[in-house]
Structure 1
Amino acid sequence: MVTLRRTRRLAAVAMPLAAAGLLTACVPGTSGKEMAQTAAAGPVVTDPAKMGQARIRLLDYFTGGADLTWINDVVAAFEKKYPNITVERSSMPWDDVMKALPLRLRSANPPDIVPANNGWQSLGTLVQGGLVRNLDGYASAYGWSTKFPASILRQHQFSADGRQMGTGSVFGAPVARASAIQVYYNRTLLSRIGTTVPKTFADFEAALAKAKSAGITPISMGNLEQVGITGPLFATMDALGRQSRISDFVYSQNAVKVADTGFPQAGAAMKQWADKDYFTKDFSAVPGQDAAQAFVDGKALFRFDYSGSLPLKKGQSTNFGSFLMPRADGGHAVATASSATNFSISAKSAHPDAAAAFMNFAAGPEAAQIAADNTTMPLLATVKPAGDDPLFADDVDAAAQLSANDASVPYLDWATPTLLTTIQTQMQDMLAGKVAPDAVVQSAQADYDKFQKTLGK
């Protein structure tokens, strides 16, 4: 499973990237804009048989569990299909990769494929630095614009100068595994309060009230590390805001402000839940993993978490289910989601055609089925769930909804390198009654405006 990988991804502060000089630095002798433009020039080869013998080096952060099994199985399947191409993997923990990636890409012999994070935390600065390759030629040749939902492909697009996200050229590609913020529920406790899986936001809030009345903790949350707040906040935004507005804010389009995204309404809803004691008691002092374990132990009705992140032991999943947070207006659910990792090609790669061939394979239906066979949430293809695990069946259904409805929403914190920290600290203070909800919105907008000035906007 993807245990804590996405949580750590959200928690990673991107200032080390800026400190490394990537907002202005680039490969010697070129500007980031020139490198990005020239990388897209010339024909590309998509037939591996015409690539000759090639060895490509892949850097990832899959160090154990189903993550490691999936990537190893994908590499093995790719090498079996294309025996002239060898994939040489190396892996590091998530935090270590994010710290090392800028320098690795600027070295004389960087990996061919790297797991650049979405947003300004990583990919945007790497594009500005001219350190990752423009993939427009491959996107066109492989048909990524039709193969990937637009809301997923957009997460990998930047203008050639790296100043505009969510539009322009393609600098990365998803893999056929999803990572989404979902609502997990305890089947026994849901039955005990006499209700069913919520179909509307009003149904969800009604279930919270029933659970509290029955002496059951409605929502399991631990926020000691100041990470636990973002899951419920973003999912509630998805229910109360509009997909287009959230996306436009993150991508700096159409002059959308944070107040237009559903952020104020989501913050207000969470404040009401906190005032009604719907969250784990003393949640601000509870470690996130302790709250997750308490949920698995049957001590709460709901938990907001990332795909595959529950600390379940074999056989425990049968008493749990998951769903995407239902919208207040009754429309199809949208969810803050992306692929479980995102790959980009080094600007210095000697084998970009082979690297792109592997990335296309890792985003294909065979890789999605490998994910399902390992009971990890697939993406980008319709697959059959492995076995008869009802929780995993829910995950597969959620992934299918995201693809069919093009319903992914970018993570709000991608909008600036520091917005995550601003949101976490301000939301914590707001839930504790130390600042007003309006102050949280104002702080988030101020963070956004400050970063826009650094981009010359």
Structure 2
Amino acid sequence: MVSRSRTRRITGAFVSFTAVGLLAGCVPGTTGAGTANSAGKGAVATDPAAMGKVTLNVLDTFSGGTDNTWMTSVVKAFEKKYPNITIKRTSMAWGDAMAALPLKLKSANPPDIVPPNNGWQSMGTLVRGGLLLNLDNYAKAYGWNKSFPQSILSQEEFSTDGKQMGTGSLFGTPVARASLIEVYYNRSLLKKIGAKVPTTLAEFEADLAKAKSAGITPVTVGNSDQNGVTQTLYSLMDAYGSQSKISDFVYSQNDAGITRTGFPEAVSTYKKWSDKGYLTEDYAGVASAAAAQSFVNGKGLFHFDYSGSLPLKTGQSKGFGSFVLPRADGGKAVATASAAANFSISSKSRHADAAAAFLDFAAGEQAAELAVENGTMPLLHPDVKATGEDPLLADDVAIAQGISADGTAVPYLDWATPTLYNTINTTMQSMLAGKSTEKAVVTAADRDAAAYVKTLGK
């Protein structure tokens, strides 16, 4: 599972990307942005055992706790299988790594493997700068185009000119661990109000009303740090909007505006829940981490958050469960989801074949099994089953199985532009404080996206 410190958020940190010359800069041996990232033509080597002795320098964001344990176990398994390849890791906190990536990739000796975030805030900008290797030949050789769900594969794709996201060539691969927004529930409180895990949106809202009547906070949320709104908002959007329209908006395809994504309905429902007192009292003054702790302490029935983000102590997980918010139309649940991290190869790597072999291994079934063994949510391999007696992990694995098998992931809405996350949070805060309207939130988000599309020159 992804810890709270590693949630896939980038705000103002990447304003500096253009300042270091990525958009206009070239790397040695190229003629301009977007031309450095072509994989070599012809066949590529896929037998690591025949590659001789190689040391791969890997930058990752699995810097502590279960994250580090999982990555360590993956590296150990890979090196055991291929003793001729040594993995030399450098781990950094997620935000620090994202800020450091541009300069590291422009250096004379960049890491062979790096972990860019999805979207225009990171991966898209690095593609435009010619700093990431085009992986199309490796995708063909390893069968990634068939083995990865298209809903996940699209998150790693960009046109080679850097003007289009969600289609084109592959510039990264997912690891076999999931990061998604889900609904956590308190098992004893759900039983107390005489309810079962809701299977429809109407049942979920009925449970909110029951909890309120019983004196239980229906949904714990905190937003004093402007980091607690989007989890619920995106889940509601996924419940109301179609998977294709949400993806089209994020990827700026098919002239999809935000009004067709379910976002307006999500904003309206969020406001309704706030007005009805379904959210933590005075949540605007409560930090998102405090709201999560309050939920773990038994103060709320439901809590929307990222997978693996609950501040649980050993043994506490048995009191909680998880599910994806049901769709309003009764269809298969859609989740805002991605891999817990992506790995890309530097366009200047001298060991691209060995690096691609490690990318394939980190996305493989053994890596997914190691995720479950370490109590985290797997991805890409729906046959991987939960082990042990942790009911929350069992729920999470079941969610991941559905996302992997059905391909029902949608990208994070704010990947659409480098500034959309801030735009949504500030306008939602204003609307919920009674200083603006639901329409103002939707209009601001739509304008943010439209303005950014113009900068891409599409």
TM > 0.5 fold call: yes
The 5 A counterparts of 1:269-418 are 269-381=269-381, 382-418=383-419
Alpha-carbon distance between aligned partners in 1 of 2:104 and 2:250, rounded to the nearest angstrom: 28
Equivalent in the alignment of 1:68: 68
Q: Deviations over 1:119-173 (max 9, x none)?
A: 0010001000000000000000000011110000110000011110000000000
Q: CA deviation at 1:260?
A: 0.6
SS at match of 1:32: coil
Alpha-carbon distance between aligned partners in 1 of 2:296 and 2:327, rounded to the nearest angstrom: 26
1:445 equivalent in alignment to 2:446: yes
1:422 equivalent in alignment to 2:423: yes
SS at match of 1:197: coil
Contact 1:323 1:398 in 2 (8 A): yes
Range 27-36 or range 205-214, more displaced: 27-36
Q: CA deviation at 1:211?
A: 0.5
Q: Deviations over 1:23-78 (max 9, x none)?
A: 222214521222123x3424210011221111001101111111000000000000
What is the aligned-residue RMSD (CA, Å)? Answer: 1.1
Alpha-carbon distance between aligned partners in 2 of 1:338 and 1:16, rounded to the nearest angstrom: 25
SS at match of 1:55: strand
Q: Deviations over 1:339-375 (max 9, x none)?
A: 0000000001010000000010000000000000001
Instruction: Give the TM-score taking structure 1 as reference length.
Output: 0.98
Equivalent in the alignment of 2:50: 50
- Structure 1: tracts of 5 or more residues without a match: none
Contact 1:228 1:288 in 2 (8 A): yes
Contact 1:336 1:408 in 2 (8 A): yes
The 5 A counterparts of 1:80-99 are 80-99=80-99
Contact 2:6 2:94 in 1 (8 A): no
Q: Deviations over 1:319-343 (max 9, x none)?
A: 1000011000000101000000000
Alpha-carbon distance between aligned partners in 2 of 1:237 and 1:344, rounded to the nearest angstrom: 30
Alpha-carbon distance between aligned partners in 1 of 2:300 and 2:48, rounded to the nearest angstrom: 51
Equivalent in the alignment of 1:247: 247
Contact 1:9 1:94 in 2 (8 A): no
Alpha-carbon distance between aligned partners in 2 of 1:14 and 1:203, rounded to the nearest angstrom: 41
Q: Deviations over 1:102-131 (max 9, x none)?
A: 000000000000001100010001000000
SS at match of 1:422: helix
- Structure 2: tracts of 5 or more residues without a match: none
Alpha-carbon distance between aligned partners in 1 of 2:385 and 2:298, rounded to the nearest angstrom: 29
Equivalent in the alignment of 1:33: 34
SS at match of 1:218: strand
Q: CA deviation at 1:289?
A: 1.0
Alpha-carbon distance between aligned partners in 2 of 1:7 and 1:430, rounded to the nearest angstrom: 25
SS at match of 1:338: strand
SS at match of 1:137: helix
Q: Which residue identity lines up with residue 141 of structure 1 in the other structure? A: A
Equivalent in the alignment of 2:191: 191
Q: Which residue identity lines up with residue 453 of structure 1 in the other structure? A: K
Equivalent in the alignment of 1:257: 257
SS at match of 2:88: strand
Q: CA deviation at 1:8?
A: 5.6
Contact 2:2 2:67 in 1 (8 A): yes
SS at match of 2:244: helix
Instruction: Give the TM-score taking structure 2 as reference length.
Output: 0.98
Closer/same/farther in 2, CA of residues 332 and 10 from structure 1, 3 Å limit: farther
SS at match of 2:120: helix
Q: Deviations over 1:431-456 (max 9, x none)?
A: 11111111111101111111111111
Contact 1:55 1:86 in 2 (8 A): yes
SS at match of 1:367: helix
Closer/same/farther in 2, CA of residues 10 and 398 from structure 1, 3 Å limit: farther
Alpha-carbon distance between aligned partners in 2 of 1:415 and 1:81, rounded to the nearest angstrom: 39
Q: Which residue identity lines up with residue 364 of structure 1 in the other structure? A: G
Contact 2:237 2:263 in 1 (8 A): yes
